[in-house]
């Protein structure tokens, strides 16, 4: 029998005590992380009352009352936000990552990476940072976002919310003036949007200013929803209408005119060059934007060349379909354009035609939902609505975008389609848009993320990574093709391949504009030749990339990474690979930087193998 010395017994006892204490240390560190993340979320929501409303959170979660407040878009507030991010990152660095659970380690890494990218982006103080260097353009500015928010998202279910509507309308005036001040301040620092971006913004600003208060979307939305407020008697509703009309006429309208005057003042100094390379530290700015948008270290050159290779691949596949349809003359782009202009592919450019597009999209959604059990074990539960982009913003708006549903279920998920000209949406192109924005694209992914119940709030609702979310939506287009939605619809598959080519072309033109110093016209010509899309549609896209450097690259970069991870997992697991489990694991983990996604999914594959 072995006998231990007193020293050895004391050593063994200390080791046993240390092992017993280890779980306690881990639990304490987990609690520290949870408390820190909750505090960070509260601070983020406190600074963005509109987001708190959009998410449908409680006042406790948001750090106080928010229903009658608006965010501050001033440069002073931007500096405060940056300081808060730096402070949060320091606090996160004090957490002992090695004492966290594996899932908590992923959360730690996701939040840290997000904040590091945010600081790199906000180091460029013009506009909204490296990824959005201009405060007011055809796509950005509270002049566009706040009317839509008030009309679509601010609730009016009782007197308190109706009063808050009026308070936020006054707050909107302050937001407009804060961004008007930034226009002049940035211009003095040499940051002025391209001439075409200013011109398109002015068109939209003037259209709003010229609209009578009674016909504005803001007032019409209020009038339509006031009867929902049961505690406001019918004889008092007129007062709310009159006060809103007065605010629009006497305060909001003049604020719009001040912003129009500010843009007109800098317009003579605007140049036609589209890229951010011409701005102070422009090349650094673009690399910071690419890092934030793609969450990879890919260089502009690598991204550009990848796009060229993919365009050649997708064009070859489109050529095969076109030849099978008897179309052999002309380039791929010319033949696709010919199909897009056929009467059987065009909806009437009328309100009836727009209504038919929405009806067809809903029918397609119902069909694809029946296929989802083949690819997923866990379905999304949130409802989806398909809506038209409000006419007062459609001139400069993208083709479509998604708006997540409220966490409390009070508002469904919705995606908006731009129906300014129905001829921009030939029938064969619509299914792919539907799968990208709706099911199994943005709506499916974001809804599952919100419904998973296992992610901390900061990850399920607060942080976004376009390389993952847009990469997933583009992968969703491909997945529908793999599920056979186009088995008897060759033109529909042509639309899918055109969409893939379009996203590959984005890699080429975004890097072309901001790195290779292409002109706006050169980029438009390049995309038209690659995709066969109409000039009006392509022009809107190119002008978008010009004011949002790097964002257009996130789609295809994300899809490429997801495909590579799926191929690796299938090769590693062989017959044991389960596509449904792969998708469930990826979506339940929520949106993450691609660098972290690679580690998470490889760990999952190894666990399945074991």
- Using the 3D structure, point to which of 278, 308, 341 is the last residue of a domain: 278
pLDDT at 495: 96
Q: Are residues 408 and 544 in the same domain?
A: yes
Q: State yes or no: pLDDT of 485 exceeds 70.
A: yes
Strand partners, 384: 413
Beta strands in 86-191 (DSSP E): none
Q: Are residues 271 and 299 in the same domain?
A: no
Q: Are residues 310 and 247 in the same domain?
A: no
Q: State yes or no: pLDDT of 15 exceeds 50.
A: no
Residue 145, judged by CB atoms within 10 A of its CB (0-12, 13-18, 19+), counts as middle
Q: Are residues 87 and 174 in the same domain?
A: no
Helix axes 490-514, 466-482, angle to 10 degrees: 160
586 part of a folded domain: no
- pLDDT band (50, 70, 90) for residue 193: very high
Q: Are residues 168 and 236 in the same domain?
A: yes
pLDDT at 49: 98
Average pLDDT estimate for 513-536: 95
Query: Quick check: 116 and 86 in contact, CB under 8 A?
Result: no
Question: Tokens representing 57?
Answer: 């959170």
8 part of a folded domain: no
- Using the 3D structure, point to which of 122, 153, 179 is the last residue of a domain: 122
Q: What is the pLDDT of residues 339-386, one digit of tens each?
A: 999 999 999 999 999 999 999 999 999 999 999 999 999 999 999 999
Beta strands in 170-270 (DSSP E): none
The alpha helices in 515-553, defined as continuous H runs, are 520-531, 535-547
83 part of a folded domain: yes
99 part of a folded domain: yes
Query: Quick check: 579 and 375 in contact, CB under 8 A?
Result: yes
pLDDT at 9: 38
Query: Quick check: 420 and 204 in contact, CB under 8 A?
Result: no
Q: What is the pLDDT of residues 115-171, one digit of tens each?
A: 999 999 999 999 999 999 999 999 999 999 999 999 999 999 999 999 999 999 999
The candidate with the shortest Cα–Cα distance to 36, out of 95, 100, 76, 80, is: 95
pLDDT at 18: 45
pLDDT at 182: 98
pLDDT at 20: 46
Beta strands in 371-448 (DSSP E): 384-388, 400-403, 413-417
Exposure of 64 in the CB half-sphere (CA atoms within 13 A): 7
Q: Are residues 352 and 451 in the same domain?
A: yes
Q: Are residues 298 and 430 in the same domain?
A: yes
Distance of CA 322 to the CA centre of its chain: 33
pLDDT at 3: 43
The candidate with the shortest Cα–Cα distance to 601, out of 461, 453, 487, 468, is: 468
pLDDT at 260: 98
Q: What is the pLDDT of residues 450-484, one digit of tens each?
A: 888 789 999 988 999 999 999 999 999 999 999 99
133 part of a folded domain: no
CA gap 599, 610 in Å, rounded: 16
- Using the 3D structure, point to which of 249, 278, 307 is the last residue of a domain: 278
Domain extent for 97: 22-122
pLDDT at 396: 66
Q: Are residues 63 and 85 in the same domain?
A: yes
Q: What is the pLDDT of residues 378-411, one digit of tens each?
A: 999 999 999 998 887 787 677 888 988 887 777 8
Domains contained in the chain, number: 3
Q: What is the pLDDT of residues 253-287, one digit of tens each?
A: 999 999 999 999 999 999 999 999 999 999 999 99
430 part of a folded domain: yes
Residue 386, judged by CB atoms within 10 A of its CB (0-12, 13-18, 19+), counts as buried
pLDDT at 550: 97
Q: State yes or no: pLDDT of 24 exceeds 80.
A: no
Please give the helix or strand (H or E) that residue 382 lies within, else none.
Answer: none
pLDDT at 10: 40
pLDDT at 88: 98
Tally of CB atoms within 10 A around 48 = 20
Tally of CB atoms within 10 A around 326 = 6
Strand partners, 163: none
Q: Are residues 273 and 301 in the same domain?
A: no
Q: State yes or no: pLDDT of 565 exceeds 80.
A: yes
Question: Tokens representing 317?
Answer: 């596949």
132 part of a folded domain: no
Q: Are residues 30 and 152 in the same domain?
A: no
Q: State yes or no: pLDDT of 492 exceeds 50.
A: yes
Q: Are residues 269 and 302 in the same domain?
A: no
Q: Are residues 159 and 265 in the same domain?
A: yes
Helix axes 594-609, 466-482, angle to 10 degrees: 50
Q: State yes or no: pLDDT of 330 exceeds 80.
A: yes
424 part of a folded domain: yes
Rounded percentage of the chain residues whose pLDDT exceeds 90: 89
């Amino acid at each position: 029998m072995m006998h231990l010395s007193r020293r050895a017994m004391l050593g063994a006892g200390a080791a046993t005590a240390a092992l017993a204490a280890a779980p306690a240390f881990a639990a304490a560190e987990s609690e520290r992380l949870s408390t820190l993340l909750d505090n960070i979320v509260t601070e983020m929501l406190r600074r963005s009352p509109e987001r708190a409303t959009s998410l449908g959170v409680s006042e406790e979660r948001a750090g106080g009352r928010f229903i009658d407040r608006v965010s501050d878009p001033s440069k002073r507030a931007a500096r405060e936000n940056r300081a808060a991010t730096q402070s949060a990152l320091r606090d996160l660095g004090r957490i002992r990552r090695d004492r966290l659970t594996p899932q908590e380690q992923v959360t730690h890494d996701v939040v840290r990476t997000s904040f590091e990218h945010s600081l790199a982006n906000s180091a460029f103080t013009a506009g909204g940072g490296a990824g959005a260097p201009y405060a007011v353009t055809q796509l950005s500015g509270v002049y566009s976002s706040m009317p839509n928010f008030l009309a679509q998202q601010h609730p009016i279910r009782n007197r308190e919310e109706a009063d808050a509507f009026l308070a936020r309308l006054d707050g909107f005036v302050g937001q407009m003036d804060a961004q008007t001040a930034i226009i002049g301040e940035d211009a003095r620092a040499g940051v002025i949007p391209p001439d075409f971006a200013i011109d398109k913004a002015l068109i939209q600003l003037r259209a709003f200013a010229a609209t009578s208060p009674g016909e504005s979307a803001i007032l019409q939305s209020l009038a339509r929803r006031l009867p929902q407020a049961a505690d406001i008697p019918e004889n008092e509703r007129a007062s709310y209408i009159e006060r809103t009309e007065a605010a629009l006429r006497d305060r909001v309208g003049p604020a719009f005119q001040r912003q129009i005057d500010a843009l007109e003042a800098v317009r003579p100094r605007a140049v036609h060059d589209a890229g951010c390379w011409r701005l102070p530290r422009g090349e650094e700015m673009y690399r910071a934007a690419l890092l934030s948008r793609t969450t990879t270290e890919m260089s502009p050159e690598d991204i550009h060349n990848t796009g060229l290779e993919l365009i050649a691949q997708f064009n070859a596949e489109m050529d095969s379909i076109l030849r099978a349809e008897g179309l052999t003359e002309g380039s791929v782009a010319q033949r696709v354009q010919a199909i897009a202009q056929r009467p059987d592919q065009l909806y009437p450019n009328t309100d009836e035609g727009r209504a038919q597009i929405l009806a067809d999209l809903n029918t397609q959604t119902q069909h694809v939902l029946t296929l989802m059990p083949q690819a997923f074990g866990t379905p999304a539960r949130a409802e989806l609505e398909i809506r038209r982009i409000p006419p007062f913003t459609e001139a400069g708006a993208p083709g479509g975008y998604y708006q997540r549903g409220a966490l409390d279920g009070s508002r469904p998920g919705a995606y908006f389609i731009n129906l300014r000209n129905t001829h921009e949406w030939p029938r064969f192109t619509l299914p792919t848009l539907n799968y990208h924005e709706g099911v199994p694209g943005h709506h499916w992914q974001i809804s599952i993320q919100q419904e998973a119940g296992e992610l901390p709030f900061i990850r399920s609702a607060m942080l976004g990574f376009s390389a993952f979310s847009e990469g997933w939506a583009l992968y969703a287009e491909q997945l529908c093709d793999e599920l056979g939605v186009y088995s008897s619809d060759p033109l529909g598959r042509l639309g899918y391949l055109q969409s893939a080519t379009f996203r590959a072309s984005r890699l080429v033109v975004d890097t072309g504009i901001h790195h290779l110093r292409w002109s706006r016209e050169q980029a438009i010509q390049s995309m038209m030749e690659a995709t066969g899309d109409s000039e009006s549609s392509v022009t809107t896209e190119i002008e978008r990339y010009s004011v949002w450097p790097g964002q257009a690259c996130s789609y295809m970069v994300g899809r490429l990474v997801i495909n590579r991870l799926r191929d690796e997992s299938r090769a590693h697991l062989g017959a044991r690979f389960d596509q449904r489990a792969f998708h469930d694991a990826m979506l339940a983990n929520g949106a993450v930087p691609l660098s972290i996604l690679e580690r998470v999914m490889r760990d999952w594959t190894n666990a399945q193998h074991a």
